[in-house]
Amino acid sequence: MKKSISEFFRKILKKILIFLSKWAINKHQIKVIVILGVNGTEILKELIYVVLSPEINVRRIINKPWWDFSVPLSILGYKDKKRNFFEWIYLIFRSIYYLLFGKVNPGSIIINLNLKSNDTMRFWADILIPNYLIVSGISNIDSRTVAIINNTVKNNGFIISKTQFKDINNYKNFKLATNLNHPSAKSLPFIPSESFELALATGSLFKLTPDHVITNALKIDISTLLSKIRTNLYKSE
């Protein structure tokens, strides 16, 4: 009986958090930047963040999404952790209060979805409507990726990828990330070439020149980056 009540509360809580996160996106006109990939999404998230953060008001999910509440908690600006019943109730009412009476605070949020995290990825791929979808390390569109790509297209969002997909190659807002062989790329030896090219392509959509992207990218915290690389090499994200 106790377990069934707990599961019922969890389902209700999930629906409330989805509603609140959508409300927050609409109220604050939040631009949703989604990084979709298999490996290296944590590295690319950090790179995109340091490239864009000096130019726009942008946040990112600090830790990788580890359960289906990670995304809404990040959108609402709360720590991604488990809470007891009373803490969840407090969070809900606090969120409603700020959404009703708080000032509008336009900005962007970077969310990375890893295809290896099937449950989290599939759930949020159906719900998220990206303004920018950055595709990393995916060679073809399948059942795991079609929903979020379709949501991006319906939203007239931008799709940035190193790979040409025959189904969306002619989409007006499709941006192919090409190897620009920028000489300053040698200053970033720890960053995978694909991530760098995706960062250049994304930066161009925000009116940033390659030199501007490089200047911002050099501000990345090397210790954080190396930690992400070790995570990427030695265990699944």
User: Over the stretch 201-221, which tens digit does the pLDDT of each residue have?
Assistant: 999 999 998 888 888 888 877
Q: How far is the CA of 206 from the CAs of 52, 199, 209, 215, in angstroms? A: 8, 11, 9, 15
- pTM of the model as a whole: 0.87
Confidence of residue 192 (pLDDT cuts 50, 70, 90): confident
* Rounded average pLDDT over 99-106: 94
Homologous superfamily of the 29-65+106-234 domain (CATH): Mur-like, catalytic domain (3.40.1190.10)
* Rounded average pLDDT over 61-74: 79
Contact 144, 125 (CB under 8 A): yes
